[in-house]
Structure formats: C-alpha cells, structure tokens
Amino acid sequence: MYFYGYGVSREPSQVLAIETPLAAKGVAAANTYLGLLYEFGAGVDKNLQIAADDITKAAEGGDPVGTAQLGVLYMRGDGVIRNLTKAKSYFTSSALQGNDMGEADLGELYEQGLGISRDPSLAAQLYLASAIQHNAFAEYRLGVLYQNGDGVPQDYKKAFDWYYEAAKYHEAAAEEAIGTLYNLGLGVPADQKQAYAWTALAAKRGNAKAQEKLQLMQDLISPADKTQAETAVAEIVAKLKTKAD
C-alpha cells in the first residue's frame, strides 16, 4: 500500500516517520495519513480504534479527506458505533469542500438509500462532481447508473465510457463491467475476445464476480480465441497505463 504526497509514492514506513511529528504539531492531514495506516494495517498492526481517533482529529482539524474517511468509519461501524446520520454529516461536510471522496461517498448513500431516502438522480450528480476529479469509484458507479437507467437516461455508450475512465485507475469492478458490455454488445460491438480479456483482467485483480464468469467463459471460448484474448490483456494494460499517465 502506498500513500501519495508531493507528487511521489511513499512507503508506509516513510509515512509513519514523516507524519507522526507533523500530527503532534496539529497538522490535520498528517492525522489522516496515520489513521489510514492503522485502518488498513499498513506498516503497523491494524487497529481500528486508533484509526478512528486519528481520523477524528483530522476531521476536527478541517482536513476534507479525513472528514470523508471518518464518514466511512461511521458508515461501516469501524472503530466507532455505526451511525449513518453521522456518516452523512461528515460526507456532506467533505463534499461541500469540493473533496471527491466526500462527493462519491455521499453519492453512495443516496444511491443505496442508506439512512436516507434513495435518490439516484442526486447520486448521479454527486458522482459526476467526483468523477470529473478522476475518482475511480465515482466513475464506476456513474457507469452503473447509466447502464441501468437509474437516475439518468439509460445510455450504454456513456456507461462504457465511464467504466473505461474508472478502469484507467485499476477499478476491477469497472473492468468486469466492460467485459459484460462486450459480451452482450451493449454500447460497443459484441466481441467475445475483448469480453474475455477484460473479464480476465478484472479476475486477476481479485474481482470475485469476474473470477466466476471467467470459469464459465473458459469452457466456451476456443483455444485460438483464448490465446488472442490473453494477448489482448497485456495490450489493454499497456493502453490503460498510457491513458492514466
């Protein structure tokens, strides 16, 4: 797991060494970094209580990322008692600061109707605000809304385009969805080789749904097409890397 700062990736050990003294000085963003280390057990023993304490300090200090992440903790009940009202409050505060995480997380609450009345149209607006800041989760969920015609007019081409944007940032669920669109010929011409390639890529990244589909597809695709599809995986990865760069 890497953390980003000043344009470079940082190892957890670097984060711990650099951010600990900054947090002691009251730098809110430093508390966010430390909280994430403990939340995910990156370079330290996983401890959700310490994570919640650090991230709460970050939110109280006004850090929008920490504020959004505190909302996530309350949404899941990680290190704190689950409270969807508090989750919404923290997501809203972060979103009002223009933070893509806060916008995406608040969009998820409205899409799923978690603790509030379901409003997919508002979810789509929030996802869009986040997606234009290249938040991969928001890009993926916006694709889902367009594919299903949920809160927005059904548009398979737009669904594909948003899935592809998310795939640039290794969003496995989006890669699996692209495979489905190619398989069914929705928004793109039907192409079983591309369907297999995208599904295989998502499966490689650990997407359980893609792994199940891949097992079925392997029984249906010819050996020659499978070889071509596996070659296409490497081509897709190279293309996505170029696009993301």
Tell me the pTM. Answer: 0.90
State how far the Cα of 238 lies from the Cα of 222, in Å rounded to an integer: 25
Of the listed ranges 13-17, 60-64, 74-78, the least confidently predicted one is: 13-17
Share of the chain above pLDDT 70, in %: 94
Q: Tell me, what's the pLDDT at 234?
A: 84
Per-residue pLDDT tens digits for 68-124: 999 999 999 999 999 999 999 999 999 999 999 999 999 999 999 999 999 999 999
Residue with tokens 């296409």: 232
Stretch 63-71: mean pLDDT: 97
Q: Is residue 184 within 8 Å of 159, Cβ to Cβ?
A: no
pLDDT tens, 20-53?
Answer: 999 999 999 999 999 999 999 999 999 999 999 9
The H or E element that residue 193 is part of is helix 192-204
